[in-house]
Amino acid sequence: MSSKDVKIWIWVQNNRILKAISNKETGTLTIYDESDTIILRRTGLSPQHLKAFELIFTRYALNKISDHKEPFTYL
């Protein structure tokens, strides 16, 4: 996670750990399940669309992984 344009969000839904990765540079949002299987991928998103997704993630209190932490610290 060396790029500042990449953000990772994790949450638990229906006893499953889900992960969303947004990348402003490429304009993509990808959601994975606990097996790293892609559930949803949106491409061609504008920075405003990605900001809207981030606001939704914040509203539902999803955990954003800090740039200084390893992803497995939260699991």
- Among the ranges given (3-17, 31-45, 59-73), the one the predictor scored with the smallest mean pLDDT: 59-73
Using alpha carbons only, how large is the chain's radius of gyration in Å?
12
Helix (H, G, I), strand (E, B) or coil at 46: coil
> Which residue type sits at 71?
P
How many Cα atoms occupy the beta-carbon half-sphere of 20 within 13 Å?
19
Q: Which domain holds residue 65?
A: 6-74
Q: Would residue 42 count as lying in a domain?
A: yes
Q: Would residue 1 count as lying in a domain?
A: no
User: Which candidate, 65, 29, 63, places its Cα nearest to that of 47?
Assistant: 29
Count of the separate structural domains present in the chain: 1
pTM above 0.85, yes or no: no
Q: What is the pLDDT of residue 74?
A: 47
Q: Would residue 56 count as lying in a domain?
A: yes
Q: What is the pLDDT of residue 45?
A: 95
Q: Would residue 31 count as lying in a domain?
A: yes
Please report which helix (H) or strand (E) contains residue 41, including its range.
strand 38-42
Q: How sure is the predictor about 38, in pLDDT bands with cuts at 50, 70 and 90? A: very high
Q: What is the pLDDT of residue 75?
A: 46
